């Protein structure tokens, strides 16, 4: 008896991952190029102190008001400088969005202290109850 054996072609059940690796590498390159562009903020040299407290924005909303060496005002990560009137309007709108947010003033160390105090008093006039100053810890 002759038996005819047919060779059956086995289907390949393994997944072809080469296209996925290509897509992953392209995305990696895109993120490596764009991430430094997204993390740029207002250039401010914070004053150094011996003991600085870390602020966690997970519990409560924190609004950061930045003042650069030229005295220009910025809110959070905005690149466009604001006038004092625009700052009060913006802070008032942000206060309505979250309940009782803290406001931190990120003032440049080269700026006169009086300018920072003026901004802090403007914030208190706008109804902000918690105003703080941002600093940088000293390197040992």
SS3 59: coil
Nearest to 105 by CA among 74, 66, 72: 66
Task: State the pLDDT at residue 40.
Answer: 55
Q: What average pLDDT does the segment 4-23 reach?
A: 79
Residue 22 lies in a domain: no
Contacts of residue 129, defined as CB under 8 A and 6 or more positions apart, other chains included, come to 100
Q: How many CA atoms lie within 13 A of 84 on its CB side?
A: 12
In a domain, 16, yes or no: no
Q: Please indicate, yes or no, if residue 14 is contained in any of the structural domains.
A: no
Contact 46, 136 (CB under 8 A): yes
* Confidence (pTM): 0.60
Q: Quick check: is 26 in a domain? A: no
The total of structural domains in the chain comes to 1
Residue 56 confidence class, pLDDT cut points 50, 70, 90 = low
Torsion of CA 104, 65, 100, 98, to 10 degrees: -130
Residue 136, strand partner residues = 48
- Domain hosting 105: range is 48-137
CATH number at residue 104: 3.30.420.270
In-domain check, residue 20: no
What is residue 25's predicted lDDT score, i.e. its pLDDT?
A: 93
pLDDT at 135 (0 to 100): 78
């Amino acid at each position: 008896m002759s038996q005819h054996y047919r060779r059956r072609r086995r289907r390949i059940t393994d997944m072809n991952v080469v296209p996925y690796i290509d897509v992953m590498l392209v995305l990696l390159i895109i993120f490596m190029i764009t991430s430094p562009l997204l993390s740029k903020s207002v250039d401010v040299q914070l004053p150094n102190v011996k003991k600085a407290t870390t602020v966690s924005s997970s519990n409560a909303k924190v609004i950061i008001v930045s003042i650069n060496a030229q005295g220009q005002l910025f809110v959070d990560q905005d690149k466009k400088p604001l006038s004092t009137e625009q700052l009060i309007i913006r802070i008032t709108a942000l206060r309505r969005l979250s309940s009782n947010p803290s406001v931190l003033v990120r003032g440049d160390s080269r700026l006169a202290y009086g300018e920072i105090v003026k901004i802090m008093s403007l914030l208190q006039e706008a109804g902000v109850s918690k105003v703080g100053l941002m600093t940088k810890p000293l390197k040992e």
